[in-house]
Structure 1
Amino acid sequence: MKTITVLVIVAAVASSVQAANCGVVPTQFALTSFISTPSPPCIGRQLCISVSGTLNTPIIEGSKLNIAGKFLNHLVYADNYDLCKLLADQGTPCPLPITTTDATVCINVKTNAPPNVGSNVTFAAFNGDGGTIWCEETKGVVVKNC
């Protein structure tokens, strides 16, 4: 079992909020667990998201991480990243092998995240081959000024 840790700057998810697949099937990383800490997330502070599951396709160059937050179906938060660059920054360059079963992503919640608003946040990772690595949506995420 191989564990990776990545630091990125993205949106926030609360651990008390349930995450569910965005309806994208199949995914290249079949998640069995999606956990975030702390709860509630704080604007300008670190939040860690841990995922576990089965990676059935290597993560290759050109992979992207997209984050979108919506309130009343209006986009209130968006970020896009080069996933392989983020992995390489942490010493785990692409291609990421299928032996990977766990990943932890620690992020700083951006200062433009809307506080005290129950938003639906989507975390979607797309592989360089065009496939969906994972897509998880959380509902009712409330980010705080701590």
Structure 2
Amino acid sequence: MKILIIFASFLIVAAITTAHALDSDCSTGPVDLKVDSYTLSPNPFCIGKKACATVTGKLKAPVTQGAKLKFEGKFAGQVVYSKTLDLCILLAQQGYPCPVPTTLTSLTLCMPIEGNVIADTPVELEIVTINGNGNTIFCRSATVTAKHC
């Protein structure tokens, strides 16, 4: 069953991104969400303003309590941004408490873009979402750049 999910993880990515898509699957094994497509908006992202993201795909397992969002940004091989968040708290704030069922068809999450990131500098970003059962929900990576708009 197809689902439309807007994960807060992509919103936090907005803290260090612009118009660049999360263009690479960095999963090393099975995933609970096969990503078919995604959009990030606005385009480009602006530090200090709100951003939203849409991910489409097939959710193979419910998103359960204990799910995490992990972000790591690197510049010249050095970590310049790292954050781990409780995915279920973020989803609940938008009206979708865990467990999020595999039958979910729409979920909208938007968050402000954090201001404590490097602007105008390409950063290698990896976003990993881990389900409460320990499975990877999805992993995406890209080179991204934040902007002051």
Q: TM-score, normalised by structure 2?
A: 0.85
Q: Does the Cα contact within 8 Å between 1:6 and 1:90 map onto a contact in 2? A: no
Q: Percent identity?
A: 34
The residue aligned with 2:95 is 91
Structure 1 residue runs of 4 or more that deviate by more than 6 Å after TM superposition: none
The residue aligned with 2:147 is 144
Q: Does the Cα contact within 8 Å between 1:65 and 1:123 map onto a contact in 2? A: yes
Q: Secondary structure at the match of 2:83?
A: strand
**Bigger fraction of residues in helix:** 2
Aligned-residue Cα RMSD (Å) equals 2.2
Aligned length in residues: 145
**Bigger fraction of residues in strand:** 1
Q: Secondary structure at the match of 1:10?
A: helix
* Unaligned 5+ runs, structure 1: none
Q: TM-score, normalised by structure 1?
A: 0.87
Q: Does the Cα contact within 8 Å between 1:64 and 1:81 map onto a contact in 2? A: yes
**Using the alignment, how far apart are the partners of 2:5 and 2:21 within structure 1?**
24
Q: Does the Cα contact within 8 Å between 1:115 and 1:142 map onto a contact in 2? A: yes
C-alpha change, 1:69 and 1:15, in structure 2 (3 Å) is same
TM-superposed CA distance for 1:51, in Å, is 0.4
Q: Does the Cα contact within 8 Å between 2:18 and 2:147 map onto a contact in 1? A: no
TM-superposed CA distance for 1:138, in Å, is 1.4
Question: What amino acid is aligned across from residue 63 of structure 1 in structure 2?
Answer: A
**Corresponding residue to 1:10 among 1, 9, 12:** 12
Deviations 1:90-126 (A, max 9, x none): 1111111111355444232211110000111112110
